[in-house]
Chain A
Amino acid sequence: MRRSADVVVIGAGAVGAAVAWFATRAGLTVQVLERGQIAGGTSSACEGNLLVSDKEAGPELDLALYSHDVWTGELDEYAGLWEFERKGGLVVAASSTGAEGLRALAVRQRAAGIEVTDVPADRIADYEPYLTDGLAAAAHYPQDCQAQPMLVTAHLLRMAREAGAGVSTGTTVTGLLRDGDRVVGVRTDRGDLTAGAVVNAAGTWAGEVAALAGVRVPVMPRRGFVLVTEPLPPTVFHKVYAGEYVASTQSSEEGLQTSTVIESTAAGTILVGSSRERVGFDRTVSLPALREIAAKALTLYPSLKDTSVMRSYLGFRPYCPDHLPVIGHDPRAPGLWHAAGHEGAGIGLSVGTGKLLAQALSGVAPDLELTPFAPERFGDQVLRETPA
């Protein structure tokens, strides 16, 4: 482990890995610290969605489109390493009201630069032959992609390491070194490190790291379950989801919400989601949530009724009250930077976040304005409590 670095990154998930890689490539010396193992948090408990289809015009969409360009541009040569696939998304609506909503969303998204094709009811089977009959409409989003998030994380870290970065797992940050207000390093259970910049990429746990600096970053966990079926012959070809999914990603409800998201994997399994609950870090497997996910999925794919479910997994989306990530320098604790709170879109947004933050860390004006993601937007009060 380095004892001093230009940049110390706290957290070895997809976002931390992307920051480490782009910062290293920008010529900075980087040390990544991870209390667990690589991709041990939400990055290994998600679906690897790189979506534009579920976003309305605004800063998150801008970041998603920017990230899309990074994935398909300078990172394209590595696509095979992390099983990058341009599989496209198909959003479906069951009712005529839902269909109207879908069409209206498409109009707004097209204006914002998203590619979207309206699919009439009688053409849905061309895209997804096993979808239930009688759907009202669908929309096809060719820019929606997929990647294997653990491989994304592991390979970005490997590339950073091979370019000179240090990656230390099993290392817990217990405090921040201060020089007056300024954050000048970290204290860990394996010794102190000095750093020009400390990047908080702790995902759902970013609030705890911010609290070490006495600042508030209100990242909260939003639990989700996914079911994994037995391997099947090809049955689901796109990322298929119900139109209500878009609404549920933007909701702040506490209680259980489910909306169908289904996709197959090359292993032959089908991933069936999704659920959202604000229950803290409760890891209890909730049968009501799993049951509702299964029941809703069967309304779209009734032929999966006899398909076996092998397992389920759960993860905690890092969620901020305004559903936007926290990216950039924190003026409340100079020297501390944040790259966290990407909710359910962290894998897709990771590379854009990493590249933009590396630009800012190098003193270059970022390609995209980071103001909407400013850490101090939640108020500048300094808190002593740890967010839930």
Chain B
Amino acid sequence: MNDPIAMTLDGRTLTARPGQSVGAALTDAGVRSWRTTRGGQPRGLFCGIGVCFDCLITVDGRPGQRACLVPARAGLVLETAPASPSPDPGHQRRDDRDD
């Protein structure tokens, strides 16, 4: 039961030790970032415990998963997220509210 787990990252093989998170497997493989912000900046692990939402990754087609929390499982298909398309940057409207 301690055989390495094989997953794929953008089609390439990524292995993990049993019990590791996807984020840890990426770290062990030397991958430091797998997401690009709207502003074009790379992001990877930051808080490592599910708080900061920096390490988002697409897991089996579902975007926006926290790599630090998703347990590695054999056959997981991981995809780095492209930068979210941003509307005309000269006309950024950011109008949701909060109370």
State the A residues within 8 Å of B (CB).
Answer: 44-48, 80, 83, 85, 146-150, 226, 228, 230-234, 265-269, 271, 306, 308, 311, 313-315
Contact with A along B62-99 (1 / 0, CB 8 A): 10100000000000000000001111000111111111
Confirm or deny: B38 has a beta carbon within 8 angstroms of a beta carbon on chain A: yes
Is there an interface contact between A313 and B93, defined as CB atoms closer than 8 Å? no
What is the CB-to-nearest-CB distance from B79 to chain A, in angstroms, rounded to a whole number? 14
The number of residue pairs between A and B whose CB atoms lie closer than 8 Å in the complex comes to 70
CA distance A228 to B96 in the complex (A): 7
Q: Which secondary structure dominates chain A's binding surface?
A: loop
Total number of B residues with any Cβ neighbor in A under 8 Å = 16
B residues contacting A by CB (< 8 A) are 38, 62, 64, 84-87, 91-99
Q: Which residues from chain B contact A150 at a C-beta distance below 8 Å?
A: 97
Sorted nearest first, the 10 A-B pairs with minimum C-beta distance are A266-B93, A83-B93, A267-B94, A313-B99, A148-B95, A45-B99, A266-B92, A228-B96, A269-B96, A265-B95
Q: Does the CB pair A234–B85 fall under 8 Å?
A: yes
CB closest residue in chain B, given A229: B96
Please determine whether B97 and A45 come into contact, CB atoms closer than 8 angstroms. yes
**A85–B92 Cα gap in the complex (Å)?**
10
A149: chain B residues within 8 A (beta carbon): 95, 97
Expressed in whole angstroms, the minimum distance between the Cβ of B82 and any Cβ of chain A is 9
For B64, B84, B86, B96, the residue with the greatest tally of chain A CB atoms inside 10 Å of its CB is B96
For A269, the chain B residues whose CB sits under 8 A away are: 96
Task: Give chain B residues whose Cβ lies under 8 Å from the Cβ of A147.
Answer: 95
How many angstroms between the C-alpha atoms of A232 and B98 in the bound complex?
Answer: 18
